[in-house]
Amino acid sequence: MKDTEYATAVARVRMNENYLLTVEDTERLLTAKSKSEAVAIIVESGLCARTQDGDADFSGALRDMWDLVLGIVPDGEEFAFLLIENDFHNLKTALKATIADVDAKSLMLTPSVIDVDLIIESVRSRKFEQLPDYMSTAAKEAYDLLVSISDGQLSDAVLDRAYADSVVKLTEKSSPFLQGLAKLISADCAMRIAVRCAKTLKDEQFVELSMPKCYDMDRKELIEAVLKGESRVAEFLSHTKFDKVASQLENGISEFEKASENMLIDYCDSAKFTSLGAAPIAAYIIRKKAQIKTARIVVCCKSAGLDESLIRQRIRKTN
C-alpha cells in the first residue's frame, strides 16, 4: 500500500484529533469536583457523547473511532492488529459461556475483525479450524484446558499469549512503523505476564504456556527469571531496551504498567508530523484509546470519591 493512498484518511484523522483531550482538558478533568463535572468536561471536549442516563459513553466512543478509521482507510486489514484485542476477548467469552451453557452474544465487544457469530459457532461446534490461523490453535488449546482441568486462568493465559503473538504476525507485511508498534504491544504483554507470573509464583508449565515469543527479549532467559522471582525479572528487564520501564518496578506494579503503556504513546510521537502512510492513523488509534482509558479511570475515581492526588497516580500519558 503506497503511503500517498492514505493522504485523505490522514487529513480526516488530523481533523478528528481536535476532539482529543488537550493537556488543559486533562488538568481540568483531574481537578473536577465531582463525577458529573468530570463527565461534562469529557463531553465538552468531544472525546465522547453522553449515554441516555447521562454518563460518558466510552464504549460508544471506541465504536465511533473504529467506524471512522475503517470507513476512511484504503485497507482496514492493516489495522487489524490494533483491533484483535476485541476478538480475543470475544473468544474468551464464547469459551466460558459455552462451558457454562449461557448466551454469550450480549457480552461480546464490537467492532471486531472476526464476526462474533462465527466465533460463537466455532466454539459451540468445536470447529476451531473455522477461525483464522493465528487464533484457531490457541482456541482449541484453551478449550481443552477448560474442559479437562477447569482452569480458566490458564485458559485465558494461553489466549493472552496468542494475542501478543498475533499482533506481530498481522504486521509482517506492514510498514516499519506498524511493525515496530506491534512489537512494542507484544513486549508490553510479555513484560506484564512475566511480572504477574513472578508475583503470583506460577509454576514452569503455567509460565511456559503463558509467555509469548518475546521479539526484543530472550524468551528462555525471561522465563528462567520469572521462575526465580520478581527481583530477577526486574534485573533481566533492566538489561533490555525496556530498562526505563523496568526501573518503575521498584515503585510497584501499577507504576510499572503505566510506564509500559506510556512507552506506546512515546513511540507514536514520531507520527505527529507525518502526513502520509498508515502511521498517523495507528498513532491516532493508540492515543484515542489511551485518552478514553484515562477518562474512564478519572470518572470511576471521582464516583468513588478518591482524592485528586490518588487519581493522578493512576492516569497514563495521553498526549
DSSP β-bridge partners for residue 200 = none
**Residue whose grid cell is 498475533:** 166
Q: Which residue has the cell 518503575?
A: 248
Least confident of 1-15, 255-269, 282-296: 1-15
What confidence score (pLDDT) does residue 234 get? 95
> Exposure string (b/e) for 85-102, b if CB count within 10 Å is 16 or more?
bbbbbbbbbbbbbbeeee
Q: Give the number of other CB atoms < 10 A from CB of residue 4.
A: 10
At 215 the pLDDT is 85
Nearest partner of 165 among 242, 109, 230, 219, judged by Cα: 219
Assign 216 a pLDDT band (cuts: 50, 70, 90): confident
Q: Looking up cell 466454539, which residue turns up?
A: 123
pLDDT at residue 274, as a whole number? 85
Q: Which residue has the cell 500500500?
A: 1
Least Cα distance to 266 among 283, 249, 243 occurs for 283
Residue 275: per-residue pLDDT: 83
Q: Is 69 exposed, middle or buried (0-12, 13-18, 19+ CB in 10 A)?
A: buried
Q: Convert the pLDDT of each residue in 294-313 to its tens digit.
A: 999 999 999 999 989 889 88
What's the pLDDT score for residue 2? 63
Q: Averaged over 46-62, what is the pLDDT?
A: 92
Residues linked to residue 50 through DSSP beta bridges, in sequence order? 56
Cα–Cα distance measured from residue 199 to residue 233, given in angstroms and rounded to the nearest whole number: 10
Arithmetic mean of pLDDT over the chain: 93
Q: What is residue 225's predicted lDDT score, i.e. its pLDDT?
A: 97
With a pLDDT cut of 90, the percent of the chain lying above it is: 84
Give the pLDDT of residue 123.
96
Model confidence pLDDT, tens digit, residues 160-199: 999 999 999 999 999 999 999 999 999 999 999 999 999 9
Give residue 4's pLDDT: 77
Q: What is the DSSP letter of 317?
A: P
Cell numbers representing residue 170 in the block: 498481522
User: What's the pLDDT score for residue 224?
Assistant: 97
**pLDDT tens per residue, range 247-283:** 999 998 889 999 999 999 999 998 988 888 999 999 9
Q: Is the pLDDT of residue 5 over 90?
A: no
Structure confidence by residue, pLDDT tens digits, 81-124: 999 999 999 999 999 999 999 998 889 999 999 999 999 999 99
Q: For residue 175, give the DSSP letter.
A: -
Hey, is 56 helix, strand or coil? strand
Residue 1's pLDDT is 59
Over 90: is that where the pLDDT of 36 sits? yes
**Ramachandran category for residue 271: left, alpha or beta (phi over 0 → left; psi -120 to 50 → alpha):** alpha
**Per-residue pLDDT at 3:** 64
Q: pLDDT value at position 97?
A: 94
What are the φ and ψ backbone dihedral angles of 108, each rounded to 5 degrees?
-80, 150
CA distances from 120 to 10, 90, 101, 175 (A): 35, 8, 12, 33
Average pLDDT, integer, range 55-73: 94
